[in-house]
């Protein structure tokens, strides 16, 4: 379910700004897609290999100023972006000044969307003839994605030493999360639990789910003291969302707090510490998890990473099994026996 906090421009798209007539008159065809700029070390090596004249030319180009956009071009860019990305009318599209780019034939252009919960900047390329706009995604592959996730202190389910890790950005009130939770733990986990570890991260869609934040905080209050208590809380809430919701937000909060108290009693937790945590309702940890998800380009729940491979939405059981088998094979382990698979 989408967060609705902004518009994500996350596809590669070339927009011909000159219109059909200009395309029909063109004899050179569409421009070739440019390769991403090289990293610093590679660029430095290339710079050293250039003759002095070439290095002087490069230095001169770095001091060049890109030609300003005309009002007509600005209007066409704004129109194309609004149309192709379905930007809501209440949001304003602002364009920065073009800057010289490392991509031959193009200038860098920052497009800012205003009017959501916070401004969002998106990097584009505009051809020097101002006829083509390009949006290129950049991905940091300098380290494993899983290493970027902050999992410190998060409750772990399964084998803590497993080579296959599932990290799921979850919303306790999301019905699709409920389905994913059931698929994962009611069936698949029974066969894979000794070879995988599962960690949940918080990503409550607070704009549309009024008690999801409260549930995340209560769950974390339990998880700080006892992992099994957290997971039993998670199992119950996902399986009984309608019952938890009650007839009002206040009733939902009371139901969640009572469930938390019951788990604390069952697992003999520090009641004073738990109640202080529940009453404080500190959103800091949950907000940090949400910010982390935003940086990863997550905009819906559930969003799951299995050894770095991203899956959005409730993954079907057969697909989930196939992914886990592949991850196990990649880590040098045998997949689940075919006879164990659900018919």
pLDDT in tens, 213-227: 999 999 999 999 999
- In the predicted structure, residue 53 carries a pLDDT above the cut 60: no
Q: Is the peptide bond before 213 cis (omega within 30 degrees of 0)?
A: no
* Band (7; pLDDT cuts 50, 70, 90): very low
Instruction: Compute CA 298 distance to the chain's CA centroid, rounded to the nearest angstrom.
Output: 2
The residue among 338 and 183 whose pLDDT is bigger is: 183
Q: How many residues are recorded in the chain?
A: 343
* Band (84; pLDDT cuts 50, 70, 90): confident
Beta bridge partners, 134, equal 14, 125
pLDDT at 270: 98
Q: What is the DSSP string of 138-154?
A: ----SS-HHHHS--TT-
- In the predicted structure, residue 107 carries a pLDDT above the cut 90: yes
C-alpha 180/C-alpha 294 separation (Å) is 21
What is the dotted CATH code of the domain comprising 145-340? 3.40.30.10
How do residues 120-173 score in pLDDT, each as one tens digit?
889 999 999 999 999 877 666 666 778 889 999 999 999 999 999 999 999 999
pLDDT at 88: 85
| Spatial CA neighbour of 171 closest among 128, 150, 201, 129 | 201
User: For 8-14, what is the mean pLDDT?
Assistant: 38
Q: How many helices (H) and strands (E) does the chain have?
A: 14, 11
How do residues 29-41 score in pLDDT, each as one tens digit?
333 333 333 333 3
Mean pLDDT taken over the chain: 82
How do residues 287-325 score in pLDDT, each as one tens digit?
999 999 998 889 899 999 999 999 999 999 999 999 999
Do residues 317 and 179 touch, judged by C-beta distance below 8 A? no
Beta bridge partners, 133, equal 15, 126
Ranking 7-11, 189-193, 199-203 by mean pLDDT, the lowest is 7-11
CATH 3.40.30.10 in the chain: give the residue spans: 145-340
* Band (55; pLDDT cuts 50, 70, 90): very low
How do residues 201-260 score in pLDDT, each as one tens digit?
999 999 999 999 999 999 999 999 999 999 999 999 999 999 999 999 999 999 999 999
pLDDT at 29: 32
Pull the structure tokens for residue 297.
């380009």
pLDDT at 15: 45
């Amino acid at each position: 379910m989408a967060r609705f906090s902004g518009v994500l421009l996350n596809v590669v798209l070339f927009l011909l700004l000159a219109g059909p007539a200009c395309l029909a008159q063109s004899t050179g065809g569409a421009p070739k897609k440019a390769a991403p700029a090289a990293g610093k070390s590679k660029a430095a090596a290339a710079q050293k290999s250039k003759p002095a004249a070439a290095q002087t030319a490069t230095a001169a180009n770095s001091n060049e100023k890109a030609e300003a956009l005309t009002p007509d071009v600005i209007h066409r860019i704004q129109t194309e972006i609004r149309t192709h990305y379905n930007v809501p009318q209440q949001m304003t599209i602002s364009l920065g000044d073009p800057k010289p780019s490392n991509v031959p034939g193009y200038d860098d252009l920052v497009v800012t969307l205003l009017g959501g919960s916070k401004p969002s900047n998106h990097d584009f390329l505009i051809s020097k003839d101002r006829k083509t706009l390009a949006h290129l995604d950049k991905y940091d592959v300098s380290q494993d994605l899983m290493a970027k996730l902050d999992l410190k202190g998060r409750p772990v389910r399964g084998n803590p030493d497993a080579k296959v890790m599932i990290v799921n950005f979850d919303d306790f009130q999301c019905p699709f999360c409920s389905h994913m939770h059931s698929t994962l733990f009611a069936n698949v986990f029974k066969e894979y639990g000794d070879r995988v570890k599962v960690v949940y991260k918080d990503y409550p869609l607070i704009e549309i789910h009024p008690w999801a934040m409260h549930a995340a905080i209560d769950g974390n209050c339990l998880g700080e003291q006892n992992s099994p208590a957290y997971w039993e809380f998670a199992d119950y809430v996902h399986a009984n969302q309608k019952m938890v919701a009650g007839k009002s937000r206040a009733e939902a909060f009371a139901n969640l707090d009572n469930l938390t108290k019951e788990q604390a009693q069952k697992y003999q937790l520090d009641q004073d510490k738990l109640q202080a945590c529940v009453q404080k309702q500190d959103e800091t940890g949950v907000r940090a998890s949400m910010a982390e998800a935003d940086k990863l380009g997550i905009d819906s729940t559930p969003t799951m990473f299995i050894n770095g491979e991203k899956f959005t939405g409730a993954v079907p059981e057969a697909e989930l099994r196939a992914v886990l088998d592949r991850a196990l094979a990649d880590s040098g382990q045998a997949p689940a026996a075919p006879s164990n698979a659900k018919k």
